[in-house]
């Protein structure tokens, strides 16, 4: 998945306005203009599209964590220059304060089933013998399940 699509989907899930999105970036002391945001939210096949870098998506996700959970004492986390789907999934998990059962419920809404062990493999360190790479399809299903739960109000089955 491209970063722009992830940004668009999160915006849709939580029904964020441009002002709210800019505010989320501001949590990380990042100044984003409405023009930049519009370029990132534009579809790839439309005029005015500009790719959203891994660093910018990381800044947004770090801002989302602050938006949803509050600012922590101490130094703010440094936004990564390179993001993997596993890192994106972890940041969403932290921002939404999700436990494994919550994540499994969100995936179930999207009619995608995995075991708790399979899910935990995404949160292991690369190089760990049980580490598993999070593929685009998995992240897409998770974001779709988030939409069903947070935007459409469908309750999670535990």
Residue 60 sits in the same domain as residue 103: no
Residue-wise pLDDT tens digits, 31-41: 999 999 999 99
Residue labelled with tokens 């075991």 = 115
Residue-wise pLDDT tens digits, 58-92: 999 999 999 999 988 877 788 999 999 999 999 99
Domain that holds residue 47: 3-69
pLDDT at site 74: 78
Residue-wise pLDDT tens digits, 138-153: 999 999 999 999 999 9
pLDDT at site 158: 63
pLDDT at site 77: 80
Domain termination residue (choose one: 18, 47, 69): 69
pLDDT at site 73: 81
Evaluate whether residue 22 is within a structural domain: yes
DSSP-derived 3-state class of residue 84: coil
What is the C-alpha to C-alpha distance for residues 142 and 56, in angstroms, rounded to an integer?
21
Residue 64 sits in the same domain as residue 111: no
At 50, phi and psi to the nearest 5? -135, 135
Q: State the average pLDDT over residues 24-28.
A: 96
Encoded tokens for 12: 């849709």
Whether pLDDT at 116 is above 70? yes
Number of domains in the chain: 2
What is the C-alpha to C-alpha distance for residues 54 and 59, in angstroms, rounded to an integer?
9
What is the C-alpha to C-alpha distance for residues 144 and 141, in angstroms, rounded to an integer?
5
């Amino acid at each position: 998945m491209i970063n722009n699509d992830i940004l668009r989907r999160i915006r849709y899930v939580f029904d964020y306005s441009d002002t709210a999105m800019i505010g989320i970036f501001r949590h990380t002391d990042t100044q984003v203009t409405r023009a930049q945001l519009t370029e990132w939210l534009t579809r790839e096949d439309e005029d005015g599209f500009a790719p959203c870098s891994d660093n910018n998506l990381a800044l947004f996700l770090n801002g989302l964590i602050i938006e949803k959970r509050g600012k922590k004492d101490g130094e703010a986390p440094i936004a990564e220059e390179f993001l993997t789907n596993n890192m994106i999934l972890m940041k969403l998990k932290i921002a939404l304060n999700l436990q494994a059962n919550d994540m499994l419920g969100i995936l179930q809404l999207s009619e995608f089933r995995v075991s708790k062990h399979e899910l935990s493999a995404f949160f292991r360190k690369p190089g760990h013998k049980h580490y598993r790479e999070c593929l685009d399809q998995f992240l897409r299903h998770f974001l779709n399940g988030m939409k069903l739960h947070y935007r459409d109000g469908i309750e999670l089955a535990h």
